[in-house]
Chain A
Amino acid sequence: MKYRDEYRTADAARGYANAIARITTRPWTLMEVCGGQTNAIMRFGIDQLLPKEISLIHGPGCPVCVTPIDYIDKALDIAGTPGVILCTFGDMLRVPGTKSDLAAARAGGADVRVVYSPLEALAVARDHPGNEVVFFAVGFETTAPANAMTVYQADREGLVNFSVLVSQVLVPPAICALLDRPGNRIHGFLAAGHVCTITGYAEYEPIARQHRVPIVVTGFEPLDILEGVYRCIHQLERGESIVENQYSRAVRRPGNQLAQQVMESVFQIVPRHWRGMGEITASGLGVSPAYQTFDAEARFGAVISQDESQGECTSGAVLRGETRPDQCPAFGTRCTPEHPLGVTMVSEEGACAAYYRYRRQVRRPVE
């Protein structure tokens, strides 16, 4: 398959691995920001090809994982309202709220529908004029333009029974928040290629400069990731800290300006609470005043922030890159995808789920 198979060849992977080993003189810790990259690293065993001096740690790059529990509870609350159809992406179904999850709500009679595109939610609204249709708009900059377009389209059509529950987050403020944490051990970042397809990477340049960290915009195939690692290590070994674009076949410095315009017209930048990281200034998107009538929080009441006690779960530290999933004492025993203690084990993109799926050796949960 073009643009895929040529990025998955064993010979080229070995070539990159050897090149990385040749230039590495001391330990370095790199963080990949995207859950898709974490999954690719685990699925293809990319980390196994790297010299032992290089540690890959996994950042807050799973949109399901960082969605705070109060939004899940709000979605459950809305789904339980008579006459409401709640539309959501599939991977939000199993994320636990305080007392339940959307899959259980559906089993209990709530009309919760999985959609593959936000525009499908609009079709549901058109087909069910007697129902309130709410789309749970979750994700990073990758999903924001399509979600914004849905609101824009609903407005153009004059749909009065459609709204969005928005939990959109932005990557650059989260990177800054991680770098500002005392004792952070991140030497360089592999930035998420698909996010930068939308946003470009100009916004990353002051971060690299001010925090003195190399940032390499990186794709998702094995050779993309190996090249991203190579470029990052190359900079670190030379004492450089700039933004490089490994994913040039999809990303341009200014990004997709049309998508940005739609986002900016429908959404506005707001402070946002991230699961495991707390509130980060200017790190989220909310519905702008011009489109307020499509804000589910305006129709069904605002999300109420609550204490996010995680008990035994260490997913907050995993999302901050402070610990690896397999270092958690509950990993693979008391915490499995069937009986997850935290959201990083629930989500397909979650780091704990990736480790469990592709790496664990412990097979049977402790009863």
Chain B
Amino acid sequence: MNEDSEQHCPLSSEGRELVKMAHGGGGRATARLLDSLFRPAFDNPWLERQHDGAVLDMPGAMAFTTDSFVVRPLFFPGSDIGAMAVHGTVNDIAMCGAEPQYLSAGFILEEGLPLATLRRVVDSMAAAARETGVRIVTGDLKVVERGKADGLYINTAGVGRVVANHPIEPGQVRPGDRLLLSGDIGRHGIAVMAAREKLDLQSAIESDCASIAPPVMALLNEGIAIRCLRDLTRGGLASALVEVAETAGLAARIQEADIPVREDISAVCELLGLDPLHVANEGRFMAVVAPEDVDRAIDILRRHSVSEAAVDIGLFLEGSAGLVTAQSVIGGSRVVDMLSGEQLPRIC
């Protein structure tokens, strides 16, 4: 397709068309891509104004976060990079005790990426944003040469209105506080690894990628004394738990038998020598709550599909800062540590 025909009918043959360096040049090709693909998908007044940024009316305390998404493959069982970018950012805002409201999205596209692929990702982002009630109000687009990226990368930032009337952070955790887990762990990491490495698994393992804002807002609205929240992404439950315990200056103890891990996830972990506690999630969080609120908090969490399997897995206590121990299923005890380096499958 030459430049002339592209000018007349920019995306008429999108299925065959590829991202070109010109799409990131800031000129007509960029404008056409924004007009034809991004603005209709994200569809909101801030984007329609076509300003350099979005002017937001946000009184009171705000939570602000940023994240980058570089997952490979772009589409994996249960989700894709677009939905993950929205949910990941929304979840970070929710972990601050805030209601997610506005997002920005910066795209780094690799020359040669099919425009149809980009559209799938953008449509998925738009659907995730609608579902979670956030608006993608500003953004950016760059194109890098072929071979310089894995198709596309997304950077997001997000802001949300703080709902909590008290700080929600590791420093608030007290000895005796209980540790709640919102559901089974390990699905996202294993789903992506299986898709990336083309592992021929008999079981259909889908990512748990989802927004966890609704149950968090419910906990806050019903007055649960939440001390700390943490979503369990890279590094898994173990890393999040050690991090919180270290910052809180406390030890923590968990019961391995109480931690839900699906049988198929557990089997793949056994096979590859991975600890499910270290495997990434995209729709799970832990909530540290006052001991007197445990039953009510679990009841609230279980009313939401994303946290319907919420459980109490342990508690914080006086002791060496960051020392997390787990009682094993046979009654022994072990240290739970952060992941060291990258997760690597073992030889035998």
Listed in ascending order, the chain A residues whose CB lies under 8 Å from chain B are 1, 4, 8-10, 13-14, 36, 42-49, 63-64, 89-94, 114, 116, 138-140, 142-143, 194, 222-223, 336-338, 348-349, 356-361, 363
**Assuming A94-B341, A338-B340, A361-B323, is B348 touching A36 (CB within 8 A)?**
yes
A44 touches B334 (CB 8 A): yes
User: B320–A361 contact, CB under 8 A?
Assistant: yes
Given contacts A90-B345, A139-B347, are A45 and B330 in contact (CB under 8 A)? Answer: yes
Alpha-carbon separation in the docked complex, A8 to B257 (Å): 10
B270:A4 contact, CB within 8 angstroms: yes
1/0 per residue, CB under 8 A from A, across B320-348: the answer is 11110000111111110100110011111
Q: Residue B70 at the A interface, CB < 8 A?
A: no
Q: Are B330 and A222 interface neighbours, CB within 8 A?
A: yes
| B197 on the A face (CB < 8 A) | yes
Q: Are A8 and B320 in contact (CB-based, < 8 A)?
A: no
**Pairwise interchain contact A363-B333, C-beta atoms closer than 8 A:** no
How many angstroms from the CA of A89 to the CA of B328 in the assembled complex?
29
Given known contacts A9-B330, A45-B333, A338-B340, A143 and B322 CB-to-CB distance under 8 angstroms: no
Residues of A close to B61: CB separation below 8 A: none
Q: Tell me whether A140 and B348 are in contact (CB under 8 A).
A: yes
| Contact status A8-B329, CB under 8 Å | yes
User: Contact check: which of B328, B331, B341, B348 meets A43 at CB < 8 Å?
Assistant: B328
Once the chains are docked, how many angstroms separate the CA of A4 from the CA of B270? 10
Q: A338: which of B263, B320, B341, B344 is its contact (CB, 8 Å)?
A: B341
Residue of A nearest to B329 (CB): A8
Interface residue B223 (Cβ < 8 Å from any Cβ of A): no
**Can you list 15 pairs linking A and B with CB atoms under 8 Å apart?**
A9-B329, A13-B330, A13-B331, A42-B334, A45-B328, A46-B330, A49-B331, A91-B273, A94-B341, A114-B345, A116-B345, A223-B330, A349-B346, A357-B337, A361-B335
Chain B residues lying within 8 Å of A46, measured Cβ to Cβ, are: 330, 332
B267 close to A (CB within 8 Å) = yes
- Tell whether, in the assembled complex, residue A138 and residue B347 are in contact, meaning their CB atoms are under 8 Å apart: yes
Q: Is the CB of A93 within 8 A of B320?
A: no
CB atoms of A14 and B263 under 8 A apart: no
- A358 and B270: CB pair below 8 A? no
Closest CB in chain B relative to A247 CB, distance in Å: 15
Residues of A within 8 A of B322 (CB): 363
What's the Cα separation between A93 and B346 when bound, in Å? 11
Q: Taking CB as reference atom, which chain A residue is nearest B330? A: A13
Residue of A nearest to B320 (CB): A363
Given the complex, which residues of B lie within 8 Å of A348, measured CB to CB? 273, 344, 346
Residues of B with Cβ closer than 8 Å to A? 197, 199, 263, 266-267, 270, 272-273, 320-323, 328-335, 337, 340-341, 344-348
Chain B: minimal CB distance from A119 (Å)? 12
Q: How far is the CA of A47 from the CA of B272 in the complex (A)?
A: 24
Which chain A positions have C-beta within 8 A of B341? 94, 337-338
B199 touches A14 (CB 8 A): no
Task: Knowing A1-B266, A1-B267, A116-B199, say if A8 contacts B330 (CB, 8 Å).
Answer: yes
- Known: A91-B347, A139-B348; 16 extra A-B contacts, CB below 8 A, are A44-B328, A45-B332, A45-B333, A46-B330, A63-B348, A89-B347, A90-B344, A90-B345, A139-B347, A140-B348, A348-B346, A349-B273, A357-B340, A358-B334, A361-B323, A363-B320
Q: Is the CB of A93 within 8 A of B348?
A: no
**Chain A minimum-CB-distance residue to B270:** A4
Is the pair B323, A143 in contact by a Cβ cutoff of 8 Å?
no
CA distance A338 to B263 in the complex (A): 31
Question: In the assembled complex, how far is the CB of residue A88 from the closest CB belonging to chain B, in whole angstroms?
Answer: 9
Cβ of A359 and Cβ of B330 under 8 Å apart? no
Q: Given A1-B263, A45-B328, A363-B322, A114–B344 Cβ distance below 8 Å?
A: yes
Q: A64, A91, A93 — which one has the most chain B CB atoms within 10 A of its CB?
A: A91
Shortest CB distance B273–A (Å): 6
What's the Cα separation between A10 and B329 when bound, in Å?
Answer: 6
Interchain CA distance A93-B333 in the complex, whole Å: 30
For residue A328, give the distance in angstroms from its CB to the closest CB of chain B.
17
Closest to A362 in B: B320
A8's nearest neighbour on chain B, judged by CB, is: B329
User: Which residues of the other chain, A, contact B329 by a CB distance below 8 angstroms?
Assistant: 8-10, 44, 222
Contacts of B272 in A (CB 8 A): 116
Contact check: which of B263, B332, B347 meets A143 at CB < 8 Å?
B347
Q: Which residue of A lies closest to B264 (CB)?
A: A1
Q: Which residue of B lies closest to A356 (CB)?
A: B337
Q: Do B344 and A93 have beta carbons less than 8 Å apart?
A: yes
A150 to B273, CA, bound (A): 23
Residue of B nearest to A141 (CB): B348
Q: Which residues of B contact A42 (CB under 8 A)?
A: 334
